[in-house]
Structure 1
């Protein structure tokens, strides 16, 4: 029986693996992907991190890129691969977990090809699980091409004609920018146009330098300031929202309310001109495969800094697990260090 099994081989799982190895634990990292970094490689081709190199280091190995560089998804995946190779982390790929069950002694982790037994389980599957698409998408004609942003790679996937992007977060605005920037098609936008945007560089320093200086990413969610920050809508970073929305070929249409065949009905108007829809409407967490787990109102595991209601079951990489930076590439390291010390203290 292993001391630990880590479910998830991206930044959260690899950070935990670093600490488990240093503490001499017998463990394995398992991941449902076919290669290290698959969760990043599955995202759109032009994706770049909002954070420059110096804020993207995992424990034990620096991100090998110049200071001030904003890495692509390919560079992140390659960094993870180098991390596994250089630190000699045991990883088993193509291992999709279907259930985790607490036993009299340890846990039984069932996957598509068998079972792994371990005294402890660390769930590092991140915050993005099930792509969410509003129910009205089923009313749209099959003649209109639809996809969730989870499957969007680039404009080459789209049919000729007008497009609609739904969703006013970072992904929605980045995809809206890419689809509309050459001016070749009209792009309707259904999302929050009052969202705040922040530049990557402010007064000669990166916005992350300012975040670090002010402690913006370090206030914990139990503090007064942490609660205030958590209550605000997250700004869009590094994308000029006003410039994108001012383009002649971008039409803001408010909320998407309904659809009927070729006609899509918005808060401000309706149209039958759209030939493509990209739903950048986020994800829903899915932890139903863990038996006996208590979930909060947002369907995330109830926990305190990664310690769940089930003894021996831990979490890492959840949004706002402790601070605003808990689910970020550079921010997960602090949570991993804390959790590793706590786990070893109780085991």
Structure 2
């Protein structure tokens, strides 16, 4: 029986693995993908981090790139692979977990090829589990190409004709920006057009430098200001929203309400020329595979800074687990350090 099993081999799982190494625990990191960094490599081709190099370090190893550089998804994946190699982290890939069950001695972690026993489990599967697409997508003609942003790689996937991007977050606006650079294609946008847009640089400093100075990423979700930040609409970072929406071939159509074959119905009009739809409509969490887990109103595990209601079961990398930065590459280290202290004091 292992001391710990860490489920998830991206930034949260690796940060936790580093501390378990320091504590000399017997553990393994398991991941359902075929390679380390796959969660990043599977995203669209032009994806870059919003945060520059100096804010992307995991514990014990700096991100090896120039200060002010915004890493690509491939550079992030390579950093993870180097991290595993440098600290000799035991990783078991192609191990998709189907259930976690508490026992008297610890936990049974069931995966597609068998079971692993451990006294403790750290769930580091992140916040992005099930791609969400509005129900009306099933009413749309098969002639219309549809994909969730989770599967979008680039403009080369699209067929000729008009396109629709649904979703006004960072992903939606980045994809809208990329698709609408082709001026011969009309691109309809269904999302929040009033969202704030923040530049990556301001008064000679990076946005993240200012965030650090004012403590934007460090406020606890239990504090008054943390609650205000958490409840407000999050700004789009590093993408000029106003410029994109001002393009002649970009047309805002309001909320997507319904569909029937080729016709897509919006708040004030309908369109029947759309040949491509990218749904940048987010994800839904899925923790149903953990028996006896208590969930909050947003379907995330109830916990305090990663310590759950089940003895020996921990979480890391959840959005707003403790601060705004809890689910970010640079912010997860603080939560990993806290959990390491909890584990050290427990034993």
Q: Aligned pair 1:62/2:62, yes or no?
A: yes
* RMSD across aligned positions (CA): 0.5
Q: Give the drift of 1:345.
A: 1.4
1:337 aligned residue: 337
1:100 aligned residue: 100
Q: Give the drift of 1:231.
A: 1.1
Mapped to 2, the partners of 1:193 and 1:226 lie a distance apart of 25
Mapped to 1, the partners of 2:335 and 2:193 lie a distance apart of 34
Q: Aligned pair 1:277/2:277, yes or no?
A: yes
2:194 aligned residue: 194
String of CA shifts for 1:245-272, please: whole Å, max 9, x gaps: 0000000000000000000000121010
Mapped to 1, the partners of 2:265 and 2:29 lie a distance apart of 46
Q: Give the drift of 1:346.
A: 1.7
Secondary structure of the 2:304 match is coil
1:324 aligned residue: 324
Q: Give the drift of 1:182.
A: 2.5
Unmatched 5+ stretches in structure 1: none
Matches within 5 A, 1:44-59: 44-59=44-59
Runs of 4+ with deviation above 4 angstroms: none
Mapped to 2, the partners of 1:268 and 1:279 lie a distance apart of 20
Q: Aligned pair 1:301/2:289, yes or no?
A: no
2:182 aligned residue: 182
Secondary structure of the 1:4 match is strand
Unmatched 5+ stretches in structure 2: none
1:74 aligned residue: 74
2:314 aligned residue: 314
TM-score by length of 1: 1.00
TM-score by length of 2: 1.00
Matches within 5 A, 1:169-248: 169-248=169-248
Q: Give the drift of 1:276.
A: 0.3
Secondary structure of the 1:115 match is strand
Mapped to 2, the partners of 1:50 and 1:148 lie a distance apart of 21
Q: Give the drift of 1:144.
A: 0.3
Matches within 5 A, 1:229-268: 229-268=229-268
Q: Give the drift of 1:172.
A: 0.2
Mapped to 2, the partners of 1:156 and 1:76 lie a distance apart of 23
String of CA shifts for 1:69-88, please: whole Å, max 9, x gaps: 00000000000000000110
Mapped to 1, the partners of 2:148 and 2:277 lie a distance apart of 8
Secondary structure of the 2:4 match is strand
Secondary structure of the 1:259 match is strand
Secondary structure of the 1:76 match is helix
Mapped to 1, the partners of 2:184 and 2:21 lie a distance apart of 53
Q: Give the drift of 1:48.
A: 0.3
Q: Give the drift of 1:184.
A: 2.1
Count of aligned residue pairs for this structure pair? 347
Mapped to 2, the partners of 1:80 and 1:245 lie a distance apart of 36
Secondary structure of the 1:220 match is coil
Q: Give the drift of 1:344.
A: 2.3
